[in-house]
Amino acid sequence: MKYFVTILLAVAVLAVAVPASAGVVWSEDFESYAAGTAIQDTAKWSGSAADGPIRINGYTATSDLGQRVDPDGLALDGNSNKEQLSGVGRVWSTSRATIPGPSANAVTYTVAFDTVVERGSNSNGTGNSGFHIKSGEASEFGLSFMRANGRGWGFMNSGTGHSGVSTWEGFANGYYFGANEAVSASITLDKTTMMASASVAGHDFAPQPFDISVWNTIDQLSIFNDISNPAHADRNYGMDVDNIVISETIPEPATMGLALLGLCGLAVMRRKR
């Protein structure tokens, strides 16, 4: 009888402590494209067409080529408005990709990427550039960089199903972490806690809440750059992005573990007889 009780207790522990496996569901390293490729002409980023007031800026006066693949290192070049000179006003440069949302059994969903932003000054550098996970057209989580007014990196959370807050950390902390260098960044949504966390250059932002409607409707990545000072068009650096990896964790089925545990229990009982 005591062996039976022992097995039951072990089974209970196993059921509570089921391991989880991590898997990649989507990735983009830009290595398959030729240098200078217009990103909206590629398969993964075919959703980057002009859309209402948001349009793709290019390397031409008419903005018809879109963001391109940087010839140095093959990454998405955020400086897509460099040749837009004075007189064009404020314009947004946007590239979009359709992505798979979390699987039915997933408990976490993570988007990680490498990036470079330029601090510059209030009149030049990377301004209002962001990497966002979108749920439909309204809601999004994102990491954005603002060079002006002591902002720096911020973890944005806005739209339907979000708490509508942004956590900004820049000169208030005495420095712009992750500026002027290649750094890694990530955003993770945790279905168990219904909280989203973000990190840039090893700096963790305060987690922010979301609801199930966000989890169920993730469908797009959006990378944008806002070039808002034509007088410094040659110094407006966007957010360069590379090595995007989307992964999720799914609890392992307990069936095999329980079967093995049962066999071990039987073996113990046979030896005790």
Looking at residue 196, which CATH number applies to its domain? 2.60.120.200
Are 125 and 222 members of one domain?
Answer: yes
Please, are residues 248 and 22 in contact by the beta-carbon 8 Å criterion? Answer: yes
Could you give the CA distance from residue 198 to residue 181 in angstroms, rounded to a whole number? 18
Q: What is the mean pLDDT of each run of 10 residues along the chain (273 residues)?
A: 44 49 92 81 63 40 59 74 49 78 97 91 76 80 84 83 78 80 95 96 92 91 68 65 96 58 46 51
Are 82 and 11 members of one domain?
Answer: no
Are 92 and 222 members of one domain?
Answer: yes
Are 173 and 260 members of one domain?
Answer: no
Q: Across the chain, which distance is largest between two alpha carbons, in Å?
A: 91
What's the pLDDT at 160?
63
What's the pLDDT at 42?
78
Are 224 and 257 members of one domain?
Answer: no
Are 186 and 213 members of one domain?
Answer: yes
What's the pLDDT at 137?
65
Total structural domains in the chain? 2
What's the pLDDT at 123?
67
Are 129 and 26 members of one domain?
Answer: yes
Are 107 and 188 members of one domain?
Answer: yes
What's the pLDDT at 119?
83
Three-state DSSP class for residue 91: strand
Type and span of the H or E element at 214: helix 212-217
What's the pLDDT at 157?
86
Query: Long-range contacts for 146-155 (Cβ within 8 Å, ≥24 apart)?
Result: 146/170, 147/118, 147/119, 147/120, 147/121, 147/122, 148/122, 149/122, 152/176, 152/177, 152/179, 153/177, 153/178, 153/200, 153/203, 155/187, 155/198, 155/205, 155/206, 155/208
What's the pLDDT at 271?
52
Are 89 and 154 members of one domain?
Answer: yes
Distances, alpha carbon 43 to alpha carbons 30, 37, 93, in Å: 12, 12, 19
What's the pLDDT at 148?
75
Are 174 and 41 members of one domain?
Answer: yes
Are 11 and 29 members of one domain?
Answer: no
What's the pLDDT at 248?
98
Note down the domain range covering 125: 20-251
Structural tokens at position 232: 């410094």
What's the pLDDT at 65?
54
pTM metric for this prediction? 0.78
Please, are residues 179 and 171 in contact by the beta-carbon 8 Å criterion? Answer: no
What's the pLDDT at 85?
46
What's the pLDDT at 228?
52
